[in-house]
Structure 1
Amino acid sequence: MVKRTRYEDYKDRYPNYDFELSEDGILLMRCHTGGGSLVWDWKSHDDMADAFADIAGDREIKLLIHTGTGANYNADWGLKPDGTLPDPPIYDAMPGLRGLHKLDEKAWYNRQLQQNVLEVDVPMISVVNGPCNIHSEVPLMGDIVLASDDAYFQDVSHFPRGQVPGDGQHVIWSFLVGHNRARYFLLTGKKLSAQEAREWGAVNEVLPKDQVLDRAWELARELIKRPPMVLRYTRQLFTQNLKRAYLEELGHGLARETYAQQEFFPFGGGMEPLDRAWNDKPWS
């Protein structure tokens, strides 16, 4: 559950999330690493959950614009120069179940992240400024989703790499585009272009990369002409059914994902499909 916050409390709190508050109450949240595209690692993952809790607790803002920086929205996992993931730390939390406690902590943060996005009590405009191949549920929980013409959506972090498609992907895609399309998307690792995502109903508008954020500001300034309580209660109205879907489906999806990761932890290849047999565990 979120607590009351104010812009001054969190604006400089997170190294991967920059905040700008306009005079008319529009909050811009920009994801980045060192001023470039966000490197999605465990710290940025966990901090995003806390950042959305701070936003959700800020009753002074009227609208949120959420976006990435640079070439992609969320498609950089901090790979080494040879294209592989960094060597994972070794966890000995429980004899014979190495890493289980760490996996459980990640699942907890994951649950907080998605719940906190839904707790944001003002309209949310998501700007997918480039490729997004992990945690696409975050921008897709926006009330308006804009995408650059070079953006695409893909879930390569789960089933294509030997994991159960959790992290809320199993919830948001079925909710937005239907169960049959969602299953195909998650099982095949399909790279869904921004235009296809619009045709499927997951994206509202596709624009040139240099115009997409300007369009978000244009929409935001029009929306905030409404009274603050109208803005808040409309967001609550729109998220009610999605909250219900997450309540029913998120927990058991995360549980299945976490449990199955014991069989294949740490993960497989970089951002490519599975690069070895699931039971080929060189770290064992």
Structure 2
Amino acid sequence: MVKRTRYSEYKDRYANYKFELDADGILFMQCHTDGGSLVWDWKSHDDMADAFADVAGDREIKVLIHTGTGENYNADWGFMPDGSLIDPPIYQAMPGERGLWKLDEKAWYNRNLMFNVLSVDVPMISAVNGPCNIHSEVPLMGDIVLAAEDAWFQDVSHFPRGQVPGDGQHVIWNFLVGHNRGRYLLLTGKKLSAREALDWGAVAEVHPKDQLLDRAWELARDLVKRPPLTLRYTRQLFTHELKKAFLDQMNAGIGLETYAQRAFFPAGGRMEPLDRAWNDKPWSGEGEPGPQG
């Protein structure tokens, strides 16, 4: 449940999320790491849930534009802008009771992220400025989804890496493109290009990269001409069925994902598919992969 917030309270709160509010009530939210493309780590993951809670609690905004920065929307897990690894790749990262509590914390943040995005009560325009291979459900929960020509969508962090795709991917893709296409994308790790995403109905428009934000602002300035309550209640109408889908499927999905992670949890490094059987040999150099107490 979100609480009442004001722009002045959260505008400088987050290292990875930059906010600008214009005079018409359009909130511009950019994901970034040190001014470049967002690098997914645990902090940026958890802070995104809190950032959307603040946005959802701000009753002064009228339209939200959500986008990334630089070349990628978020296809850069594990590497800093200078090319250094945040963490070395580890494939049995959550053993024992401490691991159980850490997994539960991440699942808690993940559920909050989904429902905090859906709690935003103003029209949300997502401008996917480049490749998106982690948590693509976040921009896809926008009411108008725009994509740059070089953008693509992929769920590489779950099934291709040996994990259950239960943290929201299983909801959004089936909801938007149908069960057959959705499960195909999740099982194969397919890179869905911006044009394919348009054909599949996952995005509304595709634009050259340098025109993407201009189009987002054009749409936002048109939307904001409507009365504030019309904007808020229309967003509520449009998110109603999606909220039901997430309520129906989210807890089961994240529960199954978390349970499976007790046996095998890949973390760190780049988000790349496994290049061998999950239990072929030690991955981290410390012990054998597989169930650990």
What TM-score results when the alignment is normalised by the length of structure 1? Answer: 0.95
Q: How does 1:51-62 map to 2 (within 5 A)?
A: 51-62=51-62
User: Would you say the 8 A contact 2:161–2:266 is kept in 1?
Assistant: no
Tell me the equivalent position of 1:32.
32
Deviations 1:63-92 (A, max 9, x none): 000000000001011238587953559666
Tell me the equivalent position of 1:218.
218
Which structure has more RCO (C-alpha within 8 Å, separation ≥ 6)?
A: 2
The 1-side partners of 2:233 and 2:105 are apart by 33
Tell me the equivalent position of 1:86.
88
User: Would you say the 8 A contact 1:159–1:165 is kept in 2?
Assistant: yes
User: Would you say the 8 A contact 1:28–1:65 is kept in 2?
Assistant: yes
Q: Residue 93 of structure 1: CA displacement?
A: 5.4
The 1-side partners of 2:23 and 2:227 are apart by 16
Deviations 1:214-247 (A, max 9, x none): 1000000001110000000000000000000000
User: Would you say the 8 A contact 1:162–1:268 is kept in 2?
Assistant: no
The 1-side partners of 2:186 and 2:268 are apart by 17
Letter of the 2:133 partner, please give it: N
Q: What is the RMSD computed on CA atoms of the aligned residues?
A: 1.8
Structure 1 gaps of 5+ residues are: none
Q: Residue 171 of structure 1: CA displacement?
A: 0.1
Secondary structure of the corresponding residue to residue 55 of structure 1? helix
1:65 aligns with 2:65: yes
The 2-side partners of 1:233 and 1:190 are apart by 36
For the structure 1 residues 140 and 275, does the alpha-carbon distance in structure 2 shift closer, same or farther, using more than 3 Å as the test?
A: same
Which range moves more in the overlay, 244-253 or 262-271? 262-271
Secondary structure of the corresponding residue to residue 255 of structure 2? helix
Give the % identical residues: 75
For the structure 1 residues 193 and 90, does the alpha-carbon distance in structure 2 shift closer, same or farther, using more than 3 Å as the test?
A: closer
Aligned residues between the structures: 281
Letter of the 1:72 partner, please give it: N
Which range moves more in the overlay, 63-72 or 272-281? 272-281
Tell me the equivalent position of 1:153.
153
What TM-score results when the alignment is normalised by the length of structure 2? Answer: 0.92
Q: How does 1:101-140 map to 2 (within 5 A)?
A: 101-140=101-140
Secondary structure of the corresponding residue to residue 99 of structure 1? helix
Q: Residue 166 of structure 1: CA displacement?
A: 1.6
Letter of the 1:274 partner, please give it: L
User: Would you say the 8 A contact 2:75–2:134 is kept in 1?
Assistant: yes
Letter of the 1:283 partner, please give it: E
Tell me the equivalent position of 2:22.
22
Structure 2 gaps of 5+ residues are: 288-293
